[in-house]
Amino acid sequence: MSGTDTPTTAPAVTRAEYCVLACAEAWRDAGEVLASPMGTVPMIGARLARLTFAPDLLLTDGEALLMGDVPAVGAPPGVVEGWLPYRQHLALVATGRRHVMMGASQLDRHGNQNISCIGDWRRPTRQLLGVRGAPVNTLNNPTSYWVPRHSPRVFVERVDMVCGVGHDRAAAAGPSATRYHRLPGVITDLGVFDFETPDRVMRLRSLHPGVTVEQVREATGFPLAVPEEVPYTRDPTAEELRLIREEIDPRGLRDREVRA
């Protein structure tokens, strides 16, 4: 290196990239199941998982095609390996061969999710998406959640309307509801959460670097289970960062969904 050269270093890992990595981990060793990511960061995460530690993961173009390759977000597939019309998609849901990562307008400590309305459902103050397929998703295949803005408005003591079924309501409904009910985790811009507690309530699994336990507690509208030692979300490898930045999301769409 000459005296006029300046050393170059890779940009620091961003919060959005930690979120992408955490979402990807939801599909680690998933096998040949359909990934249904809802949101930009989960979409990038599913593609990262497919390119690294979950090579058998099935991805779609968001409509009716199974992709044989892993194009950049927003680009059409170069290789199509199958057709997945709506009726076949529903069959995958009913047989548990799908892992969906949904959004949530509200979530409570048991994992009950609301995407339908805010306020009394008979006269709501805000109309949202509607119940959609949330009950079928949560009772038939693994369902994780992605929340890009962790706040007490989302993480509430009691959801205004149950769309996705939580652990307490599944248990109350009996074996027919609990047989395939599985909520692997919740990923937010602050950390990663699961329900691995004796009473199946939400627990802090890891913090994204730069976040404190106090910040998470302040942003959560119910008492959260917090272990004595909370690890940080793992760092991405150099190859994972390259894939995110150069191949999967070269336009940096992830930074539009997660603030720096």
pLDDT digit string, tens, across residues 148-162: 999 999 999 999 999
pLDDT band at 8; cut points 50, 70, 90: very low
Q: Report the pLDDT value the prediction gives residue 70, as an integer from 0 to 100.
A: 96
Residue 107: in which H helix or E strand, if any? Answer: strand 106-107
Asked if residue 56 belongs to a domain, the reply is yes
Structural domain boundaries, residue 27? 15-257
CA separation for the pair 63, 33 (Å, rounded) = 17
Block residue for tokens 């909520």: 183
Asked if residue 148 belongs to a domain, the reply is yes
Block residue for tokens 């892993």: 70
Asked if residue 2 belongs to a domain, the reply is no
Asked if residue 153 belongs to a domain, the reply is yes
Residues 6 or more apart whose CB falls under 8 angstroms from that of 149 comprise 188, 189
- Are residues 228 and 253 in contact, defined by beta-carbon separation less than 8 angstroms? no
pLDDT band at 103; cut points 50, 70, 90: very high
- Are residues 194 and 205 in contact, defined by beta-carbon separation less than 8 angstroms? yes
How many domains is the chain built from?
1
Look up residue 37 and give its amino acid: P
- Are residues 107 and 137 in contact, defined by beta-carbon separation less than 8 angstroms? no
CA separation for the pair 14, 189 (Å, rounded) = 11
CATH number at residue 161: 3.40.1080.10
Asked if residue 5 belongs to a domain, the reply is no
What average pLDDT does the segment 211-232 reach? Answer: 97
pTM of this structure: 0.92
CA separation for the pair 205, 259 (Å, rounded) = 21
